[in-house]
Chain A
Amino acid sequence: MNVKKQNIDDLVLLTIVDKDANLTKSENFKEIVFKEIESGTRKLIISFEHVEYLDSSFLGALVAILKNLVPKNGRLILIELDNDIRNLFELTRLDKIFELKNSLETAIEDFK
């Protein structure tokens, strides 16, 4: 799984570099983020800038990440989801669970 990490003050931005976020990458991605949370990160932004398709395994991994982070008083914002993926989130009420923002700037502003 190609993930680019960037620290912005006390925030961690993880950008998924792959176009296709699917089963073969979901476990590896979950491990990367769980390690990030274990190391103390509580303010997390995941960017889907490059992602064109998200399968249900990867969605499951995202839900597991959020479920792990919330009891630790952490917060996760997902940014730059393309229209199809955003529609899928809305269609299946995942927008009730996740915070979705259009850009990195609005996500950072929201964390302040």
Chain B
Amino acid sequence: MNRIILLVDDDIFQLRLFEKLLTSNGYNCKIALSVDEAESILQSETPDLIVSDYEMPGKDGFEFRRRLLKEDSFKNIPFLFLTSVNDKDNVQQGLDLKAIDYIAKNTPPSHILSKIDNLLQAVREHYERSLSEIKGIAERLNLRNIPKKAPELKQFKIDYFNQSFQNQPGGDFIDFIQTNERYTFVILGDVMGKKWGAWFFSFSFLSYIRSAIRLCVYDENYSLSEILNKLNRVIHDDELLSDIFSTLSIVLLDDELGTVMYAGAGDLPILKFEEETMELHQFKSDGILLGFSEFGDYNEMEIKLDVDEELYMISDGMIDFELNGKKKSDINLFKEKLFNFKQNKERIQTIKDRLFDKHVSQVDDCSIIIIKKV
């Protein structure tokens, strides 16, 4: 993905020169002739770097920097000053405003490019280091929203895959809760939102889900409808989660009878490929998002699954596509792909590899659970 650089300078000639240099080296540039224009661009784009002139009519570069520092969403965007006024006072004033560095306009293009490349590389490495530290801590605390492996059952084979978006954690969560030899609950949820915020709250939802299931099972209650209704009420009453919502699909596998029950909350339909008719069927739950309303009215249904047939549980990232620079959510496009794989009798691993192919543009974290009757 091309990194975006916002260039701000009142000198259009200078701007075009910089733009040409950077775009021909793989960057995506946005240009602004004034601070006001730059601020208007920032309303719809978050660049990876801002390069701004000091001296401009109206608001100057220093004022621009001061204004950015006051905004939480902009203050951490790396900022470089660009100037022809290469005097110590201006440089110092710029650096005092937490600008990472400055570039003199007469610097040779190759130096400018190296400076920007190195800076963005350093920012990326710093981010990767922090990310890996946090992931390490989460691992040590046993905070995991995607399990290490699926349980092995007699009548079902479970495969699951999760891919993060731009190597950042997301709101998708998966769990398998095996309450005894007979029953296994398969959980797929998606906290609405992306990246860290969603990732953090996925643990709250997972804890509630695990508790609700365990508490119902202690009472010998395996009704998915009742589990979801109870779960929804608790989440609805939790003030910490009042602004956070999650979808949820729950499947209950009975390894003794070989039956499959399903209930969902605001989730995408479960898909089933029927071997005999070679058709892809869709099972849509009727529950609304967890936590929106005190009474959600969640119902369960049985899904008949014959030997060798497969069920697909998916998160919304699986149906988000970017085609010709335009993003869209389209379950039919996903179904079409899946249908073609099944018609060509592709194996599960191949289906996974093709669905998660890095050449397929991804706009969110995505997960799929495949349950096969064996």
Q: Write the residues of chain A forming the contact surface with B, with a CB cutoff of 8 angstroms.
A: 1-2, 18, 20, 23-28, 52-57, 59-60, 63-64, 66-67, 84-85, 87-88, 91-94, 96-97
Q: Which listed residue, A55, A64, A93, touches B288 by the CB 8 Å rule? A: A93
- Whether A93 contacts B328 by the Cβ 8 Å rule is no
> B310 interface residue, CB < 8 Å from A?
no
- Whether B331 contacts A56 by the Cβ 8 Å rule is no
Q: Which residues of chain A are within 8 angstroms of B331 by Cβ–Cβ distance? A: 87, 91
Could you tell me the dominant secondary structure of chain A's interface residues? helix
Measured between alpha carbons, how far is A66 from B289 in the docked complex, in Å?
Answer: 13
- Whether B243 contacts A57 by the Cβ 8 Å rule is no
> B329 interface residue, CB < 8 Å from A?
yes
Within the complex, what minimum Cβ distance (angstroms) separates A67 from chain B? 6
Q: Which residues of chain B are within 8 angstroms of A63 by Cβ–Cβ distance? A: 192, 245, 289, 292
- Whether A28 contacts B268 by the Cβ 8 Å rule is no
- Whether B329 contacts A94 by the Cβ 8 Å rule is no
Q: A26-B193, A64-B245 are in contact. List 17 more A-B contacts (CB 8 A).
A: A18-B43, A24-B73, A25-B44, A28-B73, A53-B327, A55-B194, A55-B327, A59-B192, A60-B244, A67-B243, A84-B330, A87-B329, A91-B269, A91-B331, A92-B267, A92-B316, A97-B288
Measured between alpha carbons, how far is A54 from B320 in the docked complex, in Å?
Answer: 10
Nearest A residue to B293 via CB reads: A97
Measured between alpha carbons, how far is A69 from B363 in the docked complex, in Å?
Answer: 30
Q: Which residues of chain A are within 8 angstroms of B327 by Cβ–Cβ distance? A: 20, 52-53, 55
Near A by CB (< 8 A), chain B positions 265-309 give: 266-269, 284, 286-289, 292-293
Query: Given A28-B73, A55-B363, A55-B364, is A92 in contact with B266 using a C-beta cutoff of 8 Å?
Result: yes
Could you tell me the dominant secondary structure of chain B's interface residues? loop
Query: Given A56-B194, A56-B364, A60-B245, is A67 in contact with B292 using a C-beta cutoff of 8 Å?
Result: yes
Within the complex, what minimum Cβ distance (angstroms) separates A20 from chain B? 7
> B195 interface residue, CB < 8 Å from A?
yes
Q: Write the residues of chain B forming the contact surface with A, with a CB cutoff of 8 angstroms.
A: 43-44, 46, 73, 171, 190, 192-195, 198, 242-245, 247, 266-269, 284, 286-289, 292-293, 316, 320, 326-331, 363-364
- Whether B195 contacts A23 by the Cβ 8 Å rule is yes
Q: Which residues of chain B are within 8 angstroms of A53 by Cβ–Cβ distance? A: 326-329
Measured between alpha carbons, how far is A67 from B290 in the docked complex, in Å?
Answer: 12
Measured between alpha carbons, how far is A92 from B320 in the docked complex, in Å?
Answer: 14
Query: Given A52-B327, A52-B328, A97-B288, is A2 in contact with B44 using a C-beta cutoff of 8 Å?
Result: yes
Nearest B residue to A95 via CB reads: B288
- Whether A23 contacts B194 by the Cβ 8 Å rule is yes
Measured between alpha carbons, how far is A66 from B244 in the docked complex, in Å?
Answer: 12
Q: Which residues of chain B are within 8 angstroms of A92 by Cβ–Cβ distance? A: 247, 266-268, 289, 316
Measured between alpha carbons, how far is A64 from B201 in the docked complex, in Å?
Answer: 15
- Whether A57 contacts B44 by the Cβ 8 Å rule is no
Q: Which listed residue, B193, B284, B330, touches A56 by the CB 8 Å rule? A: B193
Within the complex, what minimum Cβ distance (angstroms) separates B9 from chain A? 23
- Whether A64 contacts B329 by the Cβ 8 Å rule is no
